[in-house]
Amino acid sequence: MIRLQWNALRVGDHVLVHDETSSDMTLMAGQVTMIQTLVGSNDITVRVDPTDGASDVQCPRRLAVHLDTLDPHENCWRCSVDANTARGLQPTA
């Protein structure tokens, strides 16, 4: 997510978060629960609902988050890896 979008997030906004603890970096639905305004880039807390367990509160990195209305033109290497893995291809450098 670009910094402008990140800093524009508000409590209650819906986002998609890459699970950086899993090998496939799947997207999980989440909702912004807390924002700490900082100079440059805010700190955001998100409650995520993984498909295989109870909800969890995370402080994801900005580049691991998408707006819930996923923009098909947004360039994300994590999503590219997911798409290539699904097709059985090796990710490109």
pLDDT at 2: 87
Give the model's confidence band at 88: pLDDT under 50 very low, under 70 low, under 90 confident, else very high.
Answer: very low
Task: Read off the pLDDT of residues 16-70 as tens digits, 9 standing for 90 and up.
Answer: 998 887 777 888 899 999 999 988 899 999 999 876 778 889 999 998 999 887 6
Range list of H helices, the chain: 3-8, 77-87
Of 93, 71, 84, 68, the closest CA to residue 25 belongs to 84
- Identity of the amino acid at 38: L
Four-way CATH pick for 3-87: 2.30.30, 3.30.310, 1.10.3470, 2.60.40: 2.30.30
Rounded Cα distance between 9 and 56, Å, is: 19
76-86 average pLDDT score: 60
Residues β-bridged to residue 1? none
Task: Read off the pLDDT of residues 1-20 as tens digits, 9 standing for 90 and up.
Answer: 889 999 999 999 999 998 88
Of 9, 4, 19, the closest CA to residue 68 belongs to 9
